[in-house]
Amino acid sequence: MKYLDEYRDPVLARKLLAELRAAATRPWAIMETCGGQTHTLVRQGIDELLPSGMRMIHGPGCPVCVTPLATIDKAVALAARPDVIFTSYGDMLRVPGTAGDLLGVKARGGDVRVVYTPLDAVAIARDNPDREVVFFAVGFETTAPANAMAVLHAAVTGVVNFSVLVSHVLVPPAITAILDAPDNQVQAFLAAGHVCAVMGWTEYEPIAQRYGVPIVVTGFEPLDLLEGIVLAVRQLETGRATVENQYARAVRRGGNTAAQDAVRQVFRVTERTWRGIGPIPASGLALTPAFAAYDAEERFPGGETHAVEHPDCIAGQILRGTAAPTDCSAYGTRCTPLSPLGAPMVSAEGTCAAFHHAGRRRSAVEVPR
Amino acid sequence: MCLGIPGRIVEVAEGPAPRMGTVDFDGVRRPVCLAYAPEAGVGDYVIVHVGFAISRVDEAEAAKTLAVLRAIPEALESELGPEAAR
Ligand code: SF4
């Protein structure tokens, strides 16, 4: 497939690994921010081929993983209502809440429907005027334009039985929170290429400068990741800390202005709680007052739960990159993709699930501290 | 949900906003919202996320990246031993 296959070429990958071996003299620690990148790195075993003690720290960039437990509980409660058709991206269905997941609600007869795009959820609302259709609007800057368009489209076409349960998160504040943590070990970042396709990279320039960390906007294919790592290492080795763009075929410095305009129209920046990490100021999106009528939390108030995580789950450390899944006592035994105890085991973008799919064993991976 | 994939626009629909079209992903065709890729037309490659084109693939930049990768000197390759020659 064009623009995929040529970035998976094993001969070029070996050349890049040789470049990396020639460039790296120290055991650098680099974080890839996006779960899609984690998936490629672990699946291809790239993280195990790095030279001289270098390691990849897997970042919090999995929307499924960071959606707070209380929000999952709210989704589960809404989905169980007989008057509601609950619509969601497929990978949210297995995320464990305090009392079960969305899939469980569906098995008990709840009307839970997987949609490929949020516009499909608006179409379901239009076709079912006597029901309330709620869409689970989660994700990073990549899905925000789509979810914004769903709200705009509902507003323009007069679909009133549609609302969104919003739990949008933003990448740059999470990077800053990771850098501010006293136990931070990350020395450079691979920024998520598709987030930057929407937002551009101007937000990352002050971070690179203030913290002295190289940030490389990077794509998702094996060669993209290897080249991103090489660029980051070259900066680290020469003491530079700038934003570089590996993913030039899809990302421009200013990003996608049409998408940004729609997001700004529908959403405002707000504090968000990240599952496993806690509240981060100005790290998420909520609906603007003009679109409050589409807010599922306003339309269906109440249902606050006392959310408790499974005691064995160390997802917080995993999302901050201070522990690996193989450090978790439940990994691969009590916690598997089919019956996950914590969110990182759910979607393929979650670090625990990525490790599990790649067949990593608890004892097989040494995690340097 | 966060994985975006490249596909080729094979049709741009006439009709009310938002701008819609059909994108071919290696033989699989899907309706895609093109509102955020106003400059993209039939034949262009776009990166598609949850049914929305979020970026037009820049063919010249794509070619440049590959040229840089292919130009990595052979000398380094020889360091890798016989496996690299496969
Ligand atoms: S393996 Fe399961 S229980 Fe352990 S940290 Fe990952 S999601 Fe949580």
- Please write the tens of the pLDDT for every residue from A188-204: 999 999 999 999 999 99
Query: What architecture does CATH give domain A2-60+171-245?
Result: 3-Layer(aba) Sandwich (3.40)
**CATH at B62:** 2.30.30.140
- Looking at the structure of chain B, the number of domains it has is 1
Q: Which residue of A has its CA nearest to B76?
A: A18
Residue A135 corresponds to which amino acid? F
Nearest ligand 1 atom, CA A314: 5
Which parts of chain A are beta strand (E)? 29-34, 55-61, 84-88, 112-114, 132-139, 162-169, 188-192, 215-218, 243-245, 267-274, 278-287
Contact between residue A305 and residue A74 where contact means Cβ atoms under 8 Å apart: yes
**DSSP codes joined into one string, A59-98:** EEE-HHHHS-HHHHHHHHHHHTSTTEEEEE-GGGTT--BT
Domain with B32 in it: 5-81
Q: Which residues contact B45 (CB under 8 A, 6 or more apart)?
A: A2, A3, B6, B7, B8, B9, B56, B57, B59
User: Which CATH class name applies to A64-169+261-299?
Assistant: alpha beta
Q: What is the pLDDT of residue B1?
A: 61
Q: What is the pLDDT of residue A304?
A: 66
Complex ipTM over 0.95: no
The answer to whether residue A363 scores a pLDDT higher than 80 is no
- Please write the tens of the pLDDT for every residue from B13-54: 988 889 999 999 989 999 999 999 999 999 999 999 999 999
Q: What is the pLDDT of residue B77?
A: 47
Per the CB < 8 Å rule, is B18 touching A3? no
Q: What angle do CA A105, A108, A114 make, to 5 degrees?
A: 45
Choose among A46, A98, A42, A94: nearest CA to A324: A42
Does some domain include residue B86?
no
Does some domain include residue B39?
yes
Per the CB < 8 Å rule, is A90 touching B1? yes
Domain with CATH 3.40.50.11740 in chain A: 64-169+261-299
- Among A17, A146, A251, the residue with its CB nearest the CB of B52 is A146
Choosing from A341, A351, A361, A365 the residue with most ligand 1 atoms within 8 A of its CB, the one to mutate for a pocket test is A341
Choosing from A345, A349, A351, A355 the residue with most ligand 1 atoms within 8 A of its CB, the one to mutate for a pocket test is A345
Q: Which residues contact A217 (CB under 8 A, 6 or more apart)?
A: A190, A191, A193, A196, A201, A204, A228, A243, A244, A245, A246, A247, A251
The answer to whether residue B75 scores a pLDDT higher than 60 is no
Does some domain include residue B27?
yes
Domain with CATH 3.40.50.11750 in chain A: 2-60+171-245
